[in-house]
Amino acid sequence: MLIAAGVAMLLFVGYQVYLTDYFAHAAQTKAKQALVTRWKTGPDPLLPLPDGSLPRLPVGTGIANLYIPRLGRDYAWTIVQGTSAADLQKGPGHYPGTALPGQVGNFAVAGHRVGRGEPFLDLDRLRAGDAVIVETESQWYVYRVKGANRNISAEDGDGIPGREIVSPRADSVLLAVPDHPGVAPSEALMTMTTCHPKFTAARRMIVYAHLQRTLPRVTANMPARIAALYRAVLGRQ
C-alpha cells in the first residue's frame, strides 16, 4: 500500500509539473498568435475609448508581452486578461480592475510558479534595479524592480520594497499604491504575484517595480535601447 501510494504521488506530481506545462505552453502559443494578429489588424486594444474610459478587455485574451532580461533571452510571455484558473492556464494574468501597462497606478499580474507553464518559476532570482519589460501594440514600457541600496527587500522612497512575502489573503498588494490604502497613486507601478515557496500555495511572493522609461513601438523588432538591457545583464553572448 505504501508503494502504491508513493507511485500515485509521483504520478500526481508528474501531472502537475509536466503535463500541465505541456497544455499551458500550447494555450500560451495560441494567445500569443492571437495577439499578434490583433495588433496587425486593429487598433491598440489598450488605448482609452473616445470618451476617455478604459476599454473592456475580454478575459482570457492576450493584452501585452512580458520580457525579463534577468531570466534569459528566451523568456517571453503573453499576458492575458484575467486571473481565473482558466486564464492563468494560458500565461501570466492581469488582475482586472488594476491599472493597464504604463498607467499611473498599479499594473498587477499573477503567474504560476510550478506547473501550468510556470511563468514566474524564477521570480525569486530578480534583483533590485532589474528591468521588467512590457510590450503593447503602441509602446515599450521598461519597469525597474524596486528596492533600496541594491537590497530588493528594502523599502524604496515611497515605502514600497522590491519584494515581500505575504499571506494569500493580502489583497492590499493590489491597491493603486500597494499596502497603502487610501493613498492616491503618483507613479506607474507594476506588481507581480506568485505562490511561495515552490510547490506550495502557503504564501505569496510579491515583486514590485516602477516605470522608468517608455519607448514607442514602431516595428515588431525590439528597439536597440531595449536589447541593450539584455547585454547589461547577460553579457554579449
Active site residues: 112, 195, 204
CA–CA dist 186, 178 (Å, integer): 12
Q: What is the DSSP string of 152-200?
A: TTSB-TTS-BSEEEE-TT-GGGGSSSTT-TTPPP-SEEEEEEEEESTT-
Residue carrying C-alpha cell 498599479: 106
How do 62-67 and 76-81 pair as beta strands?
antiparallel
C-alpha atoms less than 13 angstroms from C-alpha of 14 in its C-beta half-sphere: 6
Q: What is the DSSP string of 213-224?
A: EEEE--SSSPPH
For 21-125, strand residue ranges (E) read 62-67, 76-81, 93-94, 105-110
DSSP 70: G
CA–CA dist 194, 164 (Å, integer): 11
DSSP 120: T
CA–CA dist 90, 32 (Å, integer): 9
